Amino acid sequence: MKNFEYVSAPNLASAITQLQGSNSKALAGGTDLLTEMKERIKTPDRLVNLKSIHEMQGVRDDKDKLWIGALTTLSEIESHRFIAERYPILAQAAYLTASHQLRNAGTLGGNLCQSVRCWYYRHPDLTCWLKGGETCYAQEGINRHHAILGNAPCIAVQPSDLAPALIALDAVVRLKGDEVDGDLSLDEFFVLPDEGLRQRTVLGKSDLVVGVSIPKPAASSRGIYLKSMEREDWSFALVSVAVQLNFAGSKVGTARIVLGGVAGKPWRAKSAEAVIQGKVLNDSLAEEAGAAAVAGASPFEHNGYKVVLAKNLVKRALLELNK
């Protein structure tokens, strides 16, 4: 790891000022940033510790919504009583993230802002497009973990488990900084990278996620998070799906279907949502929704399986919620 300066920010305003310095990075749990620094993918001159910032801490039950501070650890989300009771989909997503040790250190904010896991991006001897180079090596390479949806010059997938679950819950993210400030739907927080912006969120260099708020679900609302992994623990999703449904009697009222592991950002499958809206769920409708979720998918040499997997997971999630 290269030498760096370490400063602790007493409050948000100070952190934002500190981050304006050249080559500064925000540090919370450090489970992603420190590994990138050890591997010399990132070599910041200064780390700004956020853990001392009060405004970013805590889980609060407001009347019509739940507030989760960006510094809340994944373990806290996994085991928090309110979350388990009202937003089981979020608790499930947290539980299925990484390993116990990583969940004890990793935070909500860090989980949303983490770098991609693409093994070309992470390779110390390669400067891929996302790292400022010219080539996305994954497109012609071993792309079994890569995107099947969304056209982007970089085909790495957004790796968060929490993000699809939070988007399915209509979460709103609170941002603070120079370039962005205020509340934004979490769905809009994530962007596909392009030539102008080789990154995955709307955050500028001195912008921070302060926390997210989740509206209180309707009494008839039910959700599920399913994740396909290469082993039972400590694995990013091959494909994951977050589904949150409001039922109107036996029919589906509003629906949210969000896929993880299939695109450069959490992928909201609106056409799949449309398939089931106002209908009574059954096997064939679930199948149809699954197919709609991956309509237009264009896999690469090694990730065609994800099309089937995503389709089947959507179907399974819907049928589970209909039980």
Partner 1 sequence: MPKVVTQQVEFEGHFFEQTVVIEGDDITPWGPEKEFSVVGQPHTRIDGSERVTGGAKFTHDIHLPGMLYGKFLRSPHPHAQIKKISTSRAEKLPGVRAIFTYENSPEIPWRMGLTKLFDKRIRYAGEEVACVIADDESICLDALDLIEVEYEKLPSVVDAELALENNAPKLHEAGNLVTGKPETYARGDVEKGFKEADVVVEGTFRTQVALHNCMETHGSAAVWEGDNLKIWDSTQHIFGVRDMVATALGLPKHKVRVIKQYMGGGFGSKNGAGKYTILAALAAKKTGRPVKILLDRREENLLAGNRPSTLQIVKIGATRDGKLTAIYHKCIANEGAYAAWVAGSTGPSTRMYACPNVKAENFGVFTNLGPVAAFRAPGYVEGTFALEAMMDEVAAKLGIDPLELRLRNYAEVDPTSGKSFTTKGLRKAYEIGSEMIGWERRSQIKKQNSTATKKIGFGMGSQIWGGSGGPPAYSVVKINNDGTAVVLTGTQEIGTGAKTAMAQIAAEVLAFPIESISVELGDTQIGLYSPLSAGSMTLASVGPAVRGAAEDAKKQLLDVGSQVLNIPIEDLVIENGDFLNKKSGERTPVKKIYEKLQNYMIVGRGARGPNPADKVVNTFGAQFAQVEVDIETGKVTLQKIVAVHESGRVINPLATRSQLEGGIIQGLGFALCEQRFVDPHLGLVLNASLETYKIPTMMDIPAIEAEMVNMPDPDVNNLGVKGIGEPPIIPTPAAIANAVADALGKRIYELPLSADRVLNTLYPSSQNERSS
What is the torsional sign of CA 237, 254, 251, 297?
negative
2 contacts partner 1 (rule: CB under 8 A): yes
The piece of 58-66, 138-146, 209-217, 251-259 that touches partner 1 (CB under 8 A) is 138-146
Nearest to 147 by CA among 23, 295, 265: 265
b/e sequence 169-206, b meaning 16+ C-beta within 10 Å? bbbbbbbbbeebeeebebbebbbbbeeeeebbbbbbbb
18 contacts partner 1 (rule: CB under 8 A): no
47 contacts partner 1 (rule: CB under 8 A): no
Scan for tokens 């940033």, then name that residue: 33
119 contacts partner 1 (rule: CB under 8 A): yes
Other CB atoms closer than 10 Å to residue 116's CB: what's the count?
Answer: 24
DSSP 48: E
CB of 229 to partner 1, least distance (A): 8
Among 309, 317, 318, 321, binds partner 1 (CB under 8 A): 309
Scan residues 87-106 and list those touching partner 1 (CB under 8 A).
Answer: 99
42 contacts partner 1 (rule: CB under 8 A): no
Among 181, 230, 251, 296, binds partner 1 (CB under 8 A): 230
CB of 251 to partner 1, least distance (A): 25
End-to-end CA distance of the chain: 51
Give whichever of 61 and 301 is closer to partner 1, judged by the CB atom.
301
CB of 212 to partner 1, least distance (A): 26
DSSP 315: H
Other CB atoms closer than 10 Å to residue 19's CB: what's the count?
Answer: 22
Binding site for partner 1 (CB under 8 A): 1-2, 99, 117, 119-120, 122-126, 137, 140-142, 144, 228, 230-235, 238, 298-305, 307-309, 312-313, 315-316
